[in-house]
Homo-oligomer: A and B are copies of this chain.
Amino acid sequence: MQALTPPPVRLSEQLGESIEERIVTGVYPPGTRLDEQELAESFGVSRTPIREALIQLASIGLVEIRPRRGATVPEMAPDRLCEMFEVMAELEAMCGRLAARRILPAEQARLLEAHQACEAARQAGDPDLYYQLNEVFHRAIYDASHNGFLAEQATALHRRLRPFRRLQLRVRNRMNTSFSEHAAIVEAIIGGDSEKAGSMLRTHVIVQGERFTDLVATLRQMHNPPEAELAPAAV
């Protein structure tokens, strides 16, 4: 019965998720001005819940609110993205280290299951599916760390980096590389090799950040006239 009645959730929360979705999927690219009235009309609600949603998004860094000047989607400078990937790598490494020491049999099963699901997506050559299952895989590691707070932090940052990570898997062979890295990570965790699990996860993630930065750098070199080299950094 409880499943039928939708969980009583604040409208502003739902709106927050919707707006977040539009941001991470590129409907609202970085730099976009988020006009409260426009959003309110577009969602068919008043400004109040929109404001609350924006404030919540602002406090997790997904939008930027400047007093009396409204909300905008922040321009993620490549530098800052690097920093975020650097932190993400360390959080994942920590999850891996703890998971290797604390993982329970049931969680081992879940991890293997997620890994095998990834294998299926890889063989099918479906990057979108792989991307999705990849999240399940990583989440399994977060949970196995048996540190709920850490898992929350890792999940939050993972979400925030989602739009940038997504581009990755299109790169030639990235899916295959990712999968073989996963295999080694699973082995280390199941085998209880804490340090190895940590360092492999760190590399696994940091590589994505570096590759992304390379990608951005290449794109900018291609698209920008030479004298624009000093232009303010923007993705």
Contacts and interface: CB of A to CB of B under 8 A. Distances in A.
Interface centre among A9, A60, A87, A150 (most CB of B within 10 A): A87
Contacts of A91: 90
A86 B147 contact: yes
Main secondary structure of the interface of A (DSSP, over half): helix
A86 B56 contact: no
A10 B67 contact: yes
A65 to B, nearest CB: 8
Interface in A47-61: 48, 51-52, 55-56, 58-60
A205 interface: no
B12 A55 contact: yes
Copies assembled:
2
Interface string A22-45: 000000000000000000000000
A149 B83 contact: yes
A80 B67 CA distance: 35
Contact of A94 (B7, B51, B55, B90): B90
A172 interface: no
B87 A149 contact: yes
Nearest to A94: B90
Chain A interface residue number, banded: 20 to 34
A153 interface: yes
A76 B27 CA distance: 38
Interface string A5-29: 0011110100000000000000000
Given A52-B52, A55-B56, A94-B87, A67 B8 contact: yes
Interface of A: 7-10, 12, 48, 51-52, 55-56, 58-60, 65, 67-68, 80, 83-84, 86-87, 90-91, 94, 147-150, 153
Q: Can you list the 8 inter-chain pairs with the closest CB atoms, starting with the nearest? A: A83-B149, A59-B59, A83-B147, A8-B67, A56-B59, A90-B94, A84-B149, A87-B150
